[in-house]
Structure 1
Amino acid sequence: MHQERRGALLVFGSAAVWSFGGAIARFLETSDSWVTVFWRSVFAAAFLLGFMLYRDGPATTRKLFIAMGLPGVGVALCFATASTCFVVALSYTTVANVLLMQAGVPLIAALLGFVLFRERVSLATWAAIATVIAGVAIMVSASLGGAVSPIGDGLALLVAVVFACATVITRRHSDVAMMPAVCLGTLIAAGVSGGLVGHFAVSGADLGLLFLFGAANLGLGMALFVTGARLLPAALAALIGTAEPVLGPIWVWLIHGELPGARTLLGGSVVFLALLAHLAWQFHQQGRAADNTLPPGAA
C-alpha cells in the first residue's frame, strides 16, 4: 500500500513537471523542430547521466546500463519515439489534437496490460478512464474545427501508443531499474534528430530555455515517471499521467496570460475530479485490505 501511494505521487509529480512543456516552448524563438528535439534530448541525457553518476557512482551506473537488458532497450525506444514525435507533431497539428490523443494512453495501457499479461483492470478504473477521455474531449472541443493533418495526428497517436507501451513494460519488469533506459532514449532521440537537423545554432536565450526544456521538463519528468510507474498497475499509472494536459493550460495562463476558455476549464475540472475521486477510492480500498490482514487486536 505504501509503495502504491509513493508510486502515485511520483507519477503525478512527473505529470506536473511535464505540464510546463507548453509554457516553456512558447518562449522559444527557433522554429526548427529538429533543433528543439536535439538540444532538448542532449540536455535531458546530461541531466539523467549526471544524476546516476552522482547517486550510484560510475561502476554501478555502468552495471545498471548492462542490467536493463531488452526491457530497458524497449523502454528507451518508446521514450525516444514519444519525445521526438511530440515536438514534431506540434508543428503539424494543434495542441488540442495532441492532447486528445494523449487522453487515450490509459485506455491503450489497460488493454495492452490485459491482453499481454492478463493484468486485470477494475470497473472503477475503466469508469475513470472513460471520464478522463470525456473531460479531455471537452477541453479541446473548441479548437477541433481546423483542418486535420494526417501527419500531425498520426504522430500524436504514435506518441500515445508508445507511451502506453513504455508504461506496461516498466510495470511488467518492475525489478529492472529504468533510469538508464530513459537516458538511452534521450541519446537515441539526440542521435536521430542530430542527423536530420540542418544546423545546431540557437540564440543564448533559446539555449537556456532548451536546457530547462530538456533537463528539468523532459529529464526530471522521465526519472519521476519510471520510478513511480513500476509501483503501480499500468492503467493507473497512465491514468494519473493525464493530469499533464489539465495542468498545462493553467501554467500557460499564469505565465503567458492566455486565459483558458470555458470548455477548457470545464473539461479540466472533469478530468481533475475524476483523478481525485479514483485515487481516493484506490487508497480507501487499500486501507480496507490492510485492515483485513491485521491479526485480531492488532489495530
Structure 2
Amino acid sequence: MSDVAAQPGRAENYTRGLILVAGAGMFWSLGGLFFRLVDDATVWQIVAWRTFFLASSMTLFIAWRYGRGMLAVFRSVLSPWGIVAAVGTATANTLFMWSLEYTYVANTVLMLAAAPVISAVLSWFLLRESVRPATMLAMAGVILGVLVMLSGGLGLSVDFSNGFDISFGERGGDKPDQWIGDILAVFVVIGFAFIVVAVRAGRSVEMMPCIVLGAALACVVTSAISFVDGIGLAVSGNDLFWCAMMGMVQMTFGMALFVAGAKYVPAGELALLSLTEVIFAPIWVWALLSEVPVEATFWGGAIVFTAIAFNAMTGMRRKHPLPQA
C-alpha cells in the first residue's frame, strides 16, 4: 500500500486521487474510437477542428482554475523551453491523428505508453538527470516490444522450427500501410517525450498553457494546409461533433481530471494509473467497431505493457514526499 494511503486522514484524498487519475485515462482512451467515428473529413481537417476545440476548452479551463493568474500562467510558456513544449505538442497532436489513419488504435496507444520511459532516458541524455536501472531495463523492453509491433506492419515472421527462418508475408492484416502508422506513432512518442523534458528543464513552464499554444499552432498550420489543398474546413455535422468530442471531452476533461487527482497520488503511481488508457482504447474499437489488430500487436503490446508496469511499480517502492491534502 502507498505511504499516502497509510497516513491517517489522507486515505480519502488518496482514493479520490486514484479515481480521478484513472478516470482521466478512461477519457483519453476514447480518442481512437472518436477518430474512427468520423466519416468523411480528411486528417488535416480533423486535426484542425480537434485542436481548435482543444485550445478553446482548455483556455476556459485555465481561466476557471487560475482566475486572474491566468496571464501569468501563459507567460511561463514564453521561454525557449516553453516554445519547445508547444511545438512538441503541435507535432504530437498532428502525428497522432495520422498514425490512427494508417494503423490500429492498439498499436498507437501501446507505443504512446512508452512515453514516460523514453522521457526519463531523454532527460538523462539532455539534462543529465539520473535514471534508475529499472528504467533502463524497461527501456530495453519497450524497444523490443515496439520492434515486435513494427514487424507486424511489415509482415515479418520468424520460424524457429527449421533453424532461424525470417520471411515477409502479408503486411498489416487489413491495414497494408500499418507500418507507416507505427513509425508515426514512434515519432508521436518522441514528441511527447520532448514535451516532458521541456517542462522539466524550464521549471516555471506549465503543461496546460503549452497544450493550448501547441493546439493553436497545430490548428493554424493544418487549417492552412487544408485551404492550400483546396479542401477548406467545411465538414459534416457528424464529423464536427466527433472532432469536438475529441478536443473538448477526450482531451480537456481528461486533463482536468488528471490535474485534479495528481496532487493526491505519488508520482510513481501516476504512470501506472494512466495505463487505463492503454487498456481501454483497444477495447472500445474492438467492442463497438470490431477492429482487431494483427497478432504481432498483442505480443509486442504485452512486452511494452509489462515493461511500463514494471517501471511504474518499481518506482512506487521508492519514497515519495506526501502530497498535500
TM above 0.5, one fold? yes
1:144/1:247 CA distance change after superposition, 3 Å: farther
Secondary structure (helix, strand or coil) at the match of 1:69 reads coil
Which deviates further from its counterpart, 164-173 or 5-14? 5-14
Tell me by how many angstroms 1:10 deviates: 7.5
Tell me by how many angstroms 1:158 deviates: 3.1
Equivalenced residue count is: 282
The residue identity in structure 2 corresponding to 1:40 is R
Whether 2:75 is the aligned partner of 1:66: answer yes
The structure 1 residue matched to 2:223, chosen from 158, 180, 194, is 194
CA RMSD between the two structures: 3.8
The structure 2 residue matched to 1:205, chosen from 213, 238, 243, is 238
Whether 2:248 is the aligned partner of 1:215: answer yes
Tell me by how many angstroms 1:246 deviates: 4.4
Partners of 1:100 and 1:137 within 8 A in 2:
no
What is the CA–CA distance in structure 2 between the aligned matches of 1:34 and 1:200, rounded to whole Å?
Answer: 9
1:144/1:30 CA distance change after superposition, 3 Å: same
Tell me by how many angstroms 1:25 deviates: 1.0
The residue identity in structure 2 corresponding to 1:286 is K
What is the CA–CA distance in structure 2 between the aligned matches of 1:267 and 1:151, rounded to whole Å?
Answer: 17
- TM-score, normalization by structure 1: 0.75
1:127/1:121 CA distance change after superposition, 3 Å: same
Whether 2:225 is the aligned partner of 1:179: answer no
The residue identity in structure 2 corresponding to 1:63 is A
Secondary structure (helix, strand or coil) at the match of 2:39 reads coil
Secondary structure (helix, strand or coil) at the match of 1:286 reads coil
The structure 1 residue matched to 2:88, chosen from 75, 78, 83, is 78
What per-residue deviation string (whole Å, max 9, x for no partner) do you get for residues 188-246 of structure 1? 111111111122222222222111111122334456678859x859xx98787676444
What is the CA–CA distance in structure 2 between the aligned matches of 1:77 and 1:143, rounded to whole Å?
Answer: 28
Partners of 2:82 and 2:210 within 8 A in 1:
yes
Identity of aligned residues (%): 36
What per-residue deviation string (whole Å, max 9, x for no partner) do you get for residues 107-143 of structure 1? 5423321122211111112222323443455456544
What is the CA–CA distance in structure 1 between the aligned matches of 2:26 and 2:307, rounded to whole Å?
Answer: 17
Paired residue for 2:47?
37
Secondary structure (helix, strand or coil) at the match of 1:285 reads coil
- TM-score, normalization by structure 2: 0.70
Query: What are the within-5 Å matches in structure 2 for residues 251-266 of structure 1?
Result: 251-259=284-292, 263-266=296-299
Paired residue for 1:134?
144
1:211/1:184 CA distance change after superposition, 3 Å: same
Secondary structure (helix, strand or coil) at the match of 1:120 reads coil
Tell me by how many angstroms 1:258 deviates: 3.4
What is the CA–CA distance in structure 1 between the aligned matches of 2:197 and 2:256, rounded to whole Å?
Answer: 16
Which deviates further from its counterpart, 237-246 or 25-34? 237-246
Structure with the larger helix share: 1
What is the CA–CA distance in structure 1 between the aligned matches of 2:288 and 2:299, rounded to whole Å?
Answer: 21
Tell me by how many angstroms 1:252 deviates: 1.3
What is the CA–CA distance in structure 1 between the aligned matches of 2:98 and 2:22, rounded to whole Å?
Answer: 25
Partners of 1:28 and 1:209 within 8 A in 2:
yes
Tell me by how many angstroms 1:12 deviates: 6.3
1:49/1:84 CA distance change after superposition, 3 Å: same
The structure 1 residue matched to 2:187, chosen from 158, 167, 178, is 158
Query: What are the within-5 Å matches in structure 2 for residues 1-299 of structure 1?
Result: 15-57=25-67, 59-70=68-79, 71-91=81-101, 93-95=102-104, 98=108, 102=112, 105-106=115-116, 108-138=118-148, 141-145=151-155, 146=171, 155-197=184-226, 198-221=231-254, 232=267, 244-259=277-292, 263-286=296-319
Partners of 1:67 and 1:176 within 8 A in 2:
yes
Tell me by how many angstroms 1:268 deviates: 3.9
Secondary structure (helix, strand or coil) at the match of 1:75 reads helix
Which deviates further from its counterpart, 40-49 or 164-173? 164-173
Tell me by how many angstroms 1:276 deviates: 3.6
